[in-house]
Amino acid sequence: MQKLHHLTDDLGFRILTPDTWGDFEEMFLRHKGVSGGCWCMFHQVSASQFQKLDRDARRALHQERVTNGLSTGAILYQDTKIVGWAQFGRTANLEQILRTRKLKAWVDEGNQLPDWFITCLFVDKAYRKQGLQKYTLMSAIKAIELIGGGLTAGLPFDFPGDNPPAYNGSISLFESEGFQVAAHFGHHALLLKEI
């Protein structure tokens, strides 16, 4: 098994690879693929392809992409328990993000396309309300650093109200880790940090 990268005495992460797929799969099966059976595939494929895939096909495609080195993330552990997940990827491997018109227009204005995007931050329902989402983000940042770093973006929701979906973090969470707001794209804010 891959080395555990410690964040605290009892929290650490492993990067998603074929070797750690079983841990990722175990947590996602507990949550029926998370968010309607997404299996963290929404940003990795076109919207039309995503809609055509059922949860089992998304799971299989995600595993195939991990095997081929096209998908990664960080699995968060508390001691030996799997407690969270951070999806991140090279921008070139995130088709849905590359097709975003507002992002394309922003790049056309002379802004740098980020090397990486952190797209999902998920905490197992049995471990919520313990401040662990912060550590899912920290695990993604540290994993990207280990892989080589680069300009990294987050896309948390940015709309009024007290209950935006929590699976991609919040603006304040990303800011607490040194990200800065660079643009607003509809219901999302683009935050950047050089890692």
Cβ atoms of 144 and 179 within 8 Å: the answer is no
The dihedral through the CA atoms of 83, 14, 33, 90 has a sign that is positive
pLDDT in tens, 128-143: 999 999 999 999 999 9
Q: How far apart are CA 79 and CA 159, in angstroms?
A: 36
Residue 148: predicted pLDDT: 96
Q: From the CB of residue 116, how many other CB atoms can be counted at a distance below 10 Å?
A: 27
Phi (first) and psi of residue 139, to 5 degrees: -65, -40
Instruction: State the average pLDDT over residues 8-29.
Output: 96
Residue 187: predicted pLDDT: 85
Pairing of strands 116-123, 81-90: antiparallel
Instruction: State the average pLDDT over residues 83-109.
Output: 96
Q: From the CB of residue 177, how many other CB atoms can be counted at a distance below 10 Å?
A: 17
pLDDT band at 158 (very low <50, low <70, confident <90, very high): confident
Instruction: State the average pLDDT over residues 32-51.
Output: 90
pTM of the model: 0.95
Pairing of strands 72-78, 5-6: unpaired
Of 150, 155, 153, residue with least CA distance to 194: 150
Residue 17: predicted pLDDT: 97
Please determine, for residue 69, whether its predicted confidence score (pLDDT) is greater than 90.
yes
Percentage of residues in the chain with pLDDT exceeding 90? 85
Pairing of strands 11-15, 180-185: unpaired
Please determine, for residue 85, whether its predicted confidence score (pLDDT) is greater than 90.
yes
* Arithmetic mean of pLDDT over the chain: 93
Residue 97: predicted pLDDT: 94
Cβ atoms of 87 and 42 within 8 Å: the answer is no
Q: Domain 5-194 belongs to what topology?
A: Aminopeptidase (3.40.630)
123: enclosing H helix or E strand: strand 116-123
User: Which residue intervals of the chain are DSSP H helices?
Assistant: 21-30, 47-52, 55-67, 95-98, 101-108, 133-147, 171-176
How would DSSP label each residue in 61-105?
HHHHHHHTTS-EEEEEEETTEEEEEEEEEEGGG-HHHHT-HHHHH
What region does 79 belong to: left with phi over 0, alpha with psi -120 to 50, or beta?
left
